[in-house]
Amino acid sequence: MTLTDTAAVPVERAASARTVLMCRPDHFTVSYRINPWMHPANPTDTSLAVQQWETLRSAYVDLGFDVQLVDPIAGLPDMVYAANGGFVLDGIAYGARFTHPERAPEGPAYMDWFERAGYAVHVPEEINEGEGDFLLAGEVILAGSGFRSSTASQAELARVFGREVVGLELVNPSYYHLDTALAVLDPEPAPGAEPTIAYLPSAFSEASQGVLRERFPNAIIVTEADAAVLGLNCFSDGRTVVVASRALGYARQLRERGYETIDVDLSELLLGGGGVKCCTLELRR
């Protein structure tokens, strides 16, 4: 290790309490195709999906998270991907407005839950898929576009939360949501400190790669192989990262940076094109 390798020096990471919303995949299957991962002709095993999802939920409970549940609805097989249900910050829930008609009813279903849980709900005007495309990184919100959430939703997001929104353009259909191509690992970085992020550069346009390099010079650069098992679709409390069990290289990179890792196998949910983070919507009061 050279002296300039400061980013690789293990540091003591601190966890902060997390509250998350999840949806049990009781009705999970793949009956339509809205991303390249989905093959409706191939069989799915709903009970295995539930079993794997329960492992993720227990991992969160063991980490001390407050895990809230929204009731699954028959006929909405993708509702398990709670991250797409909205974006919640400062007690405000910005609802989702889905790109594809198959998922459209999930928007109001999640907004009902937010309402009942006491969040101030902002009914969206623009197409957006919630935390699938919006990730809080310190003070700013990173916002993906290209396949699902519209660029117009970025202005709406900035208005609703009064935060700077940094638009990032996705270019690879396999990484159609921002949370499949980029992970924020420090949910509450020290004021002014650069939050640690990890990403797959080739998932972004040249211009957006430039933005990421400039804003996050110490980011973890993830390999195509680890991204292809949705390794980046992970969830971190600042100390422990819950990550796909097949993303071995990425898990090693995380440990080199001082994070602990817990691996979970969500192979069944991968058939719908989602992983750990997709099943997790963060709730921030």
Interaction of residue 78 with ligand ARG, rule CB under 6 A: yes
Q: Among 18, 35, 199, 262, which residue interacts with ligand ARG (rule: CB under 6 A)? A: 35
Active site residue 100: no
Q: Position 75: which residue type? A: G
Q: Which one, 180 or 196, has the nearer CB to ligand ARG?
A: 180
Q: Among 153, 154, 180, 240, which residue interacts with ligand ARG (rule: CB under 6 A)? A: 180
Whether the CA torsion 147, 96, 55, 27 is positive or negative: it is negative
Token pair 């990403």: residue: 199
Q: Position 38: which residue type? A: M
Pair 177, 154: CB distance under 8 Å: no
Dihedral of CA atoms 258, 52, 129, 167 in degrees, nearest 10, equals 20
Q: How far is the CB of 59 from ligand ARG (least distance, A)?
A: 18
Interaction of residue 179 with ligand ARG, rule CB under 6 A: yes
Q: How far is the CB of 4 from ligand ARG (least distance, A)?
A: 35
Q: Which one, 1 or 74, has the nearer CB to ligand ARG?
A: 74
Q: Among 24, 57, 122, 177, which residue interacts with ligand ARG (rule: CB under 6 A)? A: 177
Category of 279 on φ-ψ map: left (φ > 0), alpha (ψ -120 to 50) or beta: alpha
Interaction of residue 278 with ligand ARG, rule CB under 6 A: yes
Active site residue 39: no
Residues 106-145 that bind ligand ARG (CB under 6 A): 132
Q: 1, exposed or middle or buried, with CB in 10 Å at 0-12, 13-18, 19+?
A: exposed
Interaction of residue 175 with ligand ARG, rule CB under 6 A: no
Residue 14's contacts (CB-CB under 8 Å, 6 or more residues apart) are 238, 239
d(C-alpha 196, C-alpha 257), whole Å: 9
d(C-alpha 261, C-alpha 241), whole Å: 5
Q: How far is the CB of 30 from ligand ARG (least distance, A)?
A: 8
Which member of 23, 122, 234, 278 is catalytic? 278
Q: Which one, 13 or 103, has the nearer CB to ligand ARG?
A: 103
Q: Which residues are catalytic?
A: 177, 278
Residue ranges in contact with ligand ARG by CB under 6 A: 34-35, 38, 78, 81, 83-84, 103, 132, 177, 179-180, 272-274, 278
